[in-house]
Amino acid sequence: MEVLLPSVSGKFGEAPELTFPDAPAPKGLRVEVLQEGNGPVVQAGQEVEVNYHGQIWNGEIFDSSYFRGKPTRFPIGVGMVIQGWDQAIVGKQVGSRLLISIPPSKGYGENGNPRAGISGTDVLVFVVDIIGADDDHRYR
């Protein structure tokens, strides 16, 4: 059975729009590189700078740094963000745009994130633009 992911409009650096397929959300973590970057490969322990857009599968947008007009920074690959992000972003090149589908088990778990409107059964979809990775702020 073919796994269908949402289609994404927009290029790296632009606020994306997602169009969901008429299909159920995939099981497990799915990562599609929409645009391959040509920067260094992101390594666990680095601090990354990204723009991201988060939406519930076939549902509401729950967060978007594009709408705030400011990227965000955080340590990656060390358990400081949801597991799906740690697994999807590490190993990708700076300058890449990723489409990530994250099951609840690699997102916010069975409790969800009620403040963000995320239930414990929601599959999360992110478009992430990796702007940079900083070796000066390595976390171990």
Confidence of residue 136 (pLDDT cuts 50, 70, 90): low
85 belongs to a structural domain: yes
Query: What would the pLDDT profile of 11-43 be if each residue is shown by its tens digit?
Result: 999 999 999 999 999 999 999 999 999 999 999
User: Domain for residue 106, yes or no?
Assistant: yes
- Which residues span the domain enclosing 65? 7-137
Q: Which of 4-8, 67-71, 110-114, 132-136 has the lowest mean pLDDT?
A: 132-136
Count the domains in the chain: 1
> Is the residue at 131 inside a domain?
yes
Question: Can you give the chain as a three-state secondary structure string?
Answer: CCCCCCEEECCCCCCCEEECCCCCCCCCCEEEEEECCCCCECCCCCEEEEEEEEEECCCCEEEEHHHHCCCEEEECCCCCCCHHHHHHHCCCECCCEEEEEECHHHCCHHHCEHHHCECCCCCEEEEEEEEEEEHHHCCC
Residue 2: inside a domain: no
Is 71 part of a structural domain of the chain? yes
Q: Once rounded to an integer, what is the mean pLDDT over residues 113-125?
A: 96
Residue 22 in domain: yes
Going by pLDDT thresholds of 50, 70 and 90, the confidence category of residue 1 is low
Q: What is the CATH number of the domain that holds 101?
A: 3.10.50.40
Query: pLDDT digit string (tens) for 76-100?
Result: 999 999 999 999 999 999 999 999 9
Q: Is residue 44 assigned to a domain?
A: yes
